[in-house]
């Protein structure tokens, strides 16, 4: 494995030219529904007049949050994606987070979380979608692309908690405690990695970001026991073979990573890149760069060569898949 230092090249600090103006202000509208037998909280962009390539049906996107977060934390980013990309965007709060009902521990797995996303698409009558996944959500996105490739137009993995090398902590505390208490050393290093993200979260419009983050954070504190099984599952599952299979499959993959991420470090980004055979787009910021910089992902898709290529692949896949969809089996309720 390489070092935990991101390369200085390829970083999106300020893409050439100003980002195209949004055609109009887009809002995320909160909703809730019963999906796979449990209450799921989500929000959906209100840009009903959005259109896809050639004026056709719009492209749908699902924006998946990280651990101990919720869909509401990413509303600012999704609104900008919806307005600037002419996409309809859905932000679910995954089971156990942001007010969504948890999956029982015995049934909890990455497969079950991916199946919830499939169920949400069924509920909204969406055939296919681009799936963005941050941190834990990146692992869910990979699993969704693997299990439901016909429904996945592409995945954008942002500082994803895959492959498993992110669990191999290289900081000072894990080295010092390797013999006496390795688990404590690893946990402490993860906590330090999360704390290292705090200064970056204060970048930009801190007031607006805090207003977006606090509601879901408060809900999660009140239901912390619902999140603990997800953490155990996340640490216990090995998805390396799934990442590699997705890299060999038909679903386009766009890896995007914060240069200053210390939670899921650059060495993991390079391992992910090798497994999917796609270079990493490095952006300014830490693990949660999209929260204080909600326009960055749109700029990557519209202004970075790799981002534009990904969008072209999504459009091509959108044209190919309708004939296949006619043969799809009946959906599960």
Cα–Cα distance between 68 and 311 in angstroms, integer? 30
**Pairing mode, strands 129-134 and 59-64:** parallel
Residue 51: what pLDDT?
92
Residue 3: what pLDDT?
57
Residue 198: what pLDDT?
79
Residue with tokens 């007049």: 49
Residue 186: what pLDDT?
59
Residue 204: what pLDDT?
62
β-sheet bridge partners, residue 152: 129
Q: What is the DSSP string of 125-164?
A: T---EEEEEETHHHHHHHHHHHH-GGGEEEEEEES-S-SG
Q: Which domains does the chain have, with CATH numbers?
A: 11-325 (3.40.50.1820)
What count of other Cβ atoms lies within 10 Å of the Cβ of residue 195?
11
Contacts of 122 (CB under 8 A, 6+ apart): 331, 332, 333
Residue 322: what pLDDT?
53
Consecutive 10-residue runs of the chain (333 residues): their mean pLDDT? 55 42 78 98 97 92 96 96 97 97 97 98 98 98 98 98 87 63 60 77 67 79 90 94 98 97 94 98 97 96 98 91 49 43
My answer on whether omega of the bond before 163 falls inside 30° of 0, hence cis, is yes
Cα–Cα distance between 67 and 152 in angstroms, integer? 22
Residue 217: what pLDDT?
82
């Amino acid at each position: 494995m390489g070092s935990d230092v991101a390369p200085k090249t390829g970083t999106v600090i300020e893409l050439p030219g100003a980002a195209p103006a949004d055609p109009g202000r887009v809002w995320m509208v909160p909703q809730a529904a019963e999906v796979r037998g449990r209450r799921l909280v989500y929000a959906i962009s209100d840009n009903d007049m959005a259109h896809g390539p050639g004026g056709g049906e719009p492209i749908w996107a699902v924006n998946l949050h990280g651990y101990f977060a919720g869909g509401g934390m990413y509303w600012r980013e999704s609104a900008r994606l919806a307005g600037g990309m002419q996409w309809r965007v859905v932000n679910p709060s995954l089971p156990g987070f942001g007010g969504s009902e948890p999956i029982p521990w015995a049934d909890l797995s990455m497969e079950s979380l991916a199946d919830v996303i499939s169920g949400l698409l069924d509920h909204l009558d969406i055939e296919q979608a681009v799936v963005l996944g941050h941190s834990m959500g990146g692992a869910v996105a990979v699993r969704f692309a693997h299990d439901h490739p016909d429904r996945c137009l592409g995945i954008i993995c942002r500082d994803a908690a895959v492959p498993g090398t992110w669990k191999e902590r290289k900081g000072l505390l894990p080295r010092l405690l390797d013999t006496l208490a390795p688990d404590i050393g690893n946990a402490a290093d993860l906590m330090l990695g999360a704390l290292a993200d705090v200064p970056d979260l204060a970048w930009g419009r801190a007031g607006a970001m805090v207003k977006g983050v606090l509601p879901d954070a408060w809900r999660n504190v009140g239901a912390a026991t619902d999140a603990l099984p997800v953490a155990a599952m996340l640490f216990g599952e090995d998805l390396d073979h799934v990442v590699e299979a997705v890299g060999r499959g038909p679903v386009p993959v766009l890896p995007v990573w914060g240069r200053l991420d210390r939670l899921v470090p650059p060495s993991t980004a390079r391992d992910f890149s090798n497994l999917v055979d796609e270079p990493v787009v490095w952006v300014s910021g830490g693990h949660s760069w999209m929260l204080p910089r909600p326009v960055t992902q749109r700029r990557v898709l519209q202004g970075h060569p790799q981002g534009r290529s990904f969008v072209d692949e999504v459009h091509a896949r959108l044209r190919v898949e309708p004939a296949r969809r006619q043969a799809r089996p009946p959906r599960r309720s």
